[in-house]
Structure 1
């Protein structure tokens, strides 16, 4: 295991690139602060250097809150704002790879090995209960989402007034819908019943449905 000193690169940190992408985003993006001791512990456990976007984000932020809280990019956590750290989220993840972000609908972005030569971001979609390899590494995926891709990615899931509704949901919770989004009756998200529940519960419910249906 590499020491903390080996993981921290002061002169080649990717953090300036992350900050530039956040500043240039067309969406509201909040960088959550972090506790230095918790950040150091998270980075050392992750064993990724701060030369990478993932390592620098975990070490220098509690996480990113994007588009009124619709997307939560995991860092070293912010207990006061109820965003868990990346390791806490992954403690409950039973699949392969590393969960790096979650969205308010219970979707998960996981960095793992796919069919290509290098790991890529895979998305677990609440409307299909399936996994999709986005074909992008962590840096390219996050840059794209911050740069405008989030609008197209979630185009069919936005309903009138969603910003105010999502902004009031804690970062450790997501929206449970009835009927579920993966059913024919639940496809029109503006018409379904929506209520916040703990994110751990929402994710568990969706994955249980996926297992039962063989998705």
Structure 2
């Protein structure tokens, strides 16, 4: 029987320096997701998919996808297996994390699409290394320019499938300081698609 990586993941969750909520998994849906991804629970991604509907990290700022919970999507439903692109998380502003090869034939790494520059950044980490860093506290520094006083309560009040729409958006000069922009709750899908559409229109 395969040795599950879940105890390692659970240990990292328990040791996190900020709140991490483990959303419950539906066993049948989790099994279907594992089969669709063709992975086992020996991997950190497989362990997260099998044992969680998703992880709400740092007051819900980051939603690490699992096997889905309510309207929070699952990993295979958001991913493009044909292109080798696996979507593994969204942040509350509409940024996204994907696990994909930097070039054909290369080992997959985590890439981040940010709402502040509308570009993809290769974090040069595999899934397990990325998630371990996230659970060890990396989000605090990673997002230091995109947070405002009191963000914790504002973000924690959102549902798992909600994000924040900010205007002016953070990729504009006027939207760089998120403490003075207009912020409102929208569906997470709407927040994500807004920046994807903006990137296409601006040729980013």
1:44 to 13, 35, 42: 35
TM alignment of 1:42-191, pairs within 5 A: 42-79=33-70, 82-90=71-79, 97-115=85-103, 117-191=106-180
Whole-Å separation in 1 of the counterparts to 2:83 and 2:62: 21
State the Cα distance separating 1:142 from its structure 2 match.
Answer: 0.4
Report the CA distance shift for 1:51/1:62 in structure 2 as closer, same or farther (over 3 A).
Answer: same
Whole-Å separation in 1 of the counterparts to 2:83 and 2:97: 12
Q: Which runs of 4+ in 1 moved over 4 A?
A: 93-96
- 1:3 is aligned to none
SS at match of 1:151: helix
| C-alpha RMSD of matched pairs (Å) | 1.8
Contact 2:78/2:86 (CA < 8 Å) preserved in 1? no
Whole-Å separation in 1 of the counterparts to 2:187 and 2:23: 20
Whole-Å separation in 1 of the counterparts to 2:122 and 2:189: 23
Contact 2:48/2:54 (CA < 8 Å) preserved in 1? yes
State the Cα distance separating 1:21 from its structure 2 match.
Answer: 0.6
Q: Which runs of 5+ in 1 are unaligned?
A: 1-7
State the Cα distance separating 1:84 from its structure 2 match.
Answer: 2.1
- 1:4 is aligned to none
TM-score normalised over the length of structure 2: 0.94
State the Cα distance separating 1:203 from its structure 2 match.
Answer: 1.2
Whole-Å separation in 2 of the counterparts to 1:157 and 1:212: 23
Report the CA distance shift for 1:95/1:160 in structure 2 as closer, same or farther (over 3 A).
Answer: farther
Q: Which runs of 5+ in 2 are unaligned?
A: none
